[in-house]
């Protein structure tokens, strides 16, 4: 990219005390929730094999992805805040996306396993120790509720903490499902209830998993972030005084909440390049929330119509 009038929006005052404090608080909340959820995962895995419950195994698979999600959130807070260096010029924000994509794929694999196992259990029902299953799920629910209390404080501060809160919240619902299933097995003695609850939990998680995978793949493909319309940006820039052509417009994000943009702008002979550049930067920042914009000003294509719109 030519160096004529390049601009970067936002001055990077990231080291401010407030930011460090909230990152620290988020980190502490996430670490506590990670330890708690990890312990639930181990308890549920042990319970699933001890009491032969597929519903517990399905919930444990869900827990595994939540442990992964909490670990991702923690990495996002700890690593995502590492300053860019000469090797990683954008810093480490993309790490969060890679981990989230891996997490989504893990969930799909777990759900597929539960489905296959459930079908075989419909054919040949296996005995389930409903009381043990119920105790384990109740213990899981109690620990989940504690995790939610820990996370609720930092929910407004960080995207990562908000995501983690939703994960733990959905865990709690999964545990409630297992408890209800266990009670029904105790009351009716019907063993098919266990695989039905297992399938219910697996299916309930899949739409969220698909949404997560779709968002992360879009970021990895440098896709235009959700809610941003390139044609609208192009028109808005073209409408500014002094602008006669807009090309090479790219908008992408490094992480879910971080938008970057580059654009080449041809200006009329009488326009002041610096003036136009500042106006474009302001427009991108305020109207489209593109804080990191690189704007290149050119004079040559105007009037000649040498370069088509792209």
Question: pLDDT > 90: what percent of the chain?
Answer: 1
More confident residue, 308 or 35: 35
Give the per-residue pLDDT at 84. 64
| Weakest mean pLDDT among 214-218, 249-253, 303-307 | 303-307
Give the per-residue pLDDT at 308. 45
Q: For residue 303, name the pLDDT band (cuts at 50, 70, 90).
A: low
Closest among 297, 226, 292, 296 to 89, alpha carbons compared: 292
Give the per-residue pLDDT at 154. 59
Domain boundaries, given as residue ranges, for the chain = 17-220, 230-298
On the question of a common fold for 17-220 and 230-298, the answer reads: no
Q: For residue 170, name the pLDDT band (cuts at 50, 70, 90).
A: confident
Tell whether the model's pLDDT for residue 108 goes beyond 80: yes
Give the per-residue pLDDT at 125. 73
What pTM was computed for the model?
Answer: 0.63
What number is the average pLDDT over the span 187-197? 85
17-220 topology per CATH: Alpha-lytic protease prodomain-like (1.20.1510)
Tell whether the model's pLDDT for residue 128 goes beyond 60: yes
131 C-beta neighbours (distance < 10 Å), count: 12
Task: Identify the CATH number of the domain defined by range 230-298.
Answer: 3.30.70.1350
Closest among 162, 58, 179, 181 to 110, alpha carbons compared: 58
Give the per-residue pLDDT at 302. 63
């Amino acid at each position: 990219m030519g160096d004529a009038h390049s601009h970067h929006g936002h001055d990077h005052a990231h080291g401010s005390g407030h930011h460090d404090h909230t990152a620290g608080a988020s980190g502490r909340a996430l670490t506590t929730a990670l330890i708690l959820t990890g312990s639930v995962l181990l308890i549920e895995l042990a319970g699933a094999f001890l009491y032969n419950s597929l519903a517990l195994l399905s919930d444990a698979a869900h827990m595994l992805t939540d442990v992964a999600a909490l670990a991702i959130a923690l990495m996002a807070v700890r690593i995502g805040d590492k300053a860019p260096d000469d090797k990683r010029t954008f810093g480490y924000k993309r790490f969060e996306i890679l981990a989230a994509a891996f997490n989504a794929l893990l969930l799909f694999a777990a759900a597929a396993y539960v489905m296959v196992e459930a079908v075989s259990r419909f054919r040949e029902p296996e005995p389930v120790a409903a009381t043990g299953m119920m105790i384990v799920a109740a213990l899981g629910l109690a620990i989940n509720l504690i995790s939610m209390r820990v996370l609720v404080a930092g929910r407004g501060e960080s995207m990562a903490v908000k995501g983690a809160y939703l994960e733990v919240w959905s865990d709690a619902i999964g545990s409630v499902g297992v408890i209800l299933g266990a009670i029904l097995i105790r009351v009716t003695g019907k063993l098919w209830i266990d695989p039905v609850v297992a399938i219910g939990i697996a299916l309930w998680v899949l739409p969220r998993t698909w949404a997560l995978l779709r968002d992360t793949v879009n970021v990895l493909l440098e896709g235009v972030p959700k809610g941003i319309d390139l044609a609208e940006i192009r028109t808005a820039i073209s409408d500014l005084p002094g602008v006669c052509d807009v090309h090479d417009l790219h908008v992408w994000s490094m992480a879910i909440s971080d938008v970057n943009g580059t654009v080449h702008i041809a200006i009329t002979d009488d326009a002041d390049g610096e003036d136009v550049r500042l106006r474009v930067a302001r427009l991108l920042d305020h109207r489209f929330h593109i804080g990191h914009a690189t704007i290149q000003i050119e004079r040559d294509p105007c009037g000649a119509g040498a370069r088509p719109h792209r």
